[in-house]
Amino acid sequence: MKTATTAVALAAAALWFLAGCAATYQRSCQIRLESDPPGAEIWRGRYYVGTTPHVLHYTATSADAERGYLRVPPLTVRKDGYRPYLVEMDLDLKRSGKFWEARVVLEPEY
């Protein structure tokens, strides 16, 4: 009985180890988000992120690497007197580097 318990414990430990190895891929991604005009607010849903220009930090996982891209959660860029701008990005993880740039041109409200 002790051998069966030991075998089950070793199998569970091996699965835990392999699952941990599969999830170890991490890649740091940075996006510099600028706006014209500068000084616009960046929002993710109801949460304030910062003011342009701003550097956003994300970490790509093994699931993102398998897919080949990191889908950035939608962001809204807003400034008084201008129309809000929805930013949706997929970062191509096949290219080298960890830095991306995005520029938003806000249109005046009429």
Q: Structural domains in the chain? A: 25-105 (2.60.40)
Is this model's pTM higher than 0.85 or not?
no
| Residue 23 region by backbone torsions, left for phi larger than 0, else alpha for psi between -120 and 50, else beta | alpha
Would you state the pLDDT for residue 23? 53
Convert the pLDDT of each residue in 5-55 to its tens digit: 554 455 555 444 444 444 567 788 999 999 999 999 999 999 999 999 999
Would you state the pLDDT for residue 96? 75
From CA 102, how far away is CA 100, in angstroms rounded?
Answer: 7
**pLDDT band at residue 58 under the 50/70/90 scheme:** very high
Residue 56 has pLDDT above 60, yes or no: yes
Cis peptide before 53 (omega within 30 of 0): yes
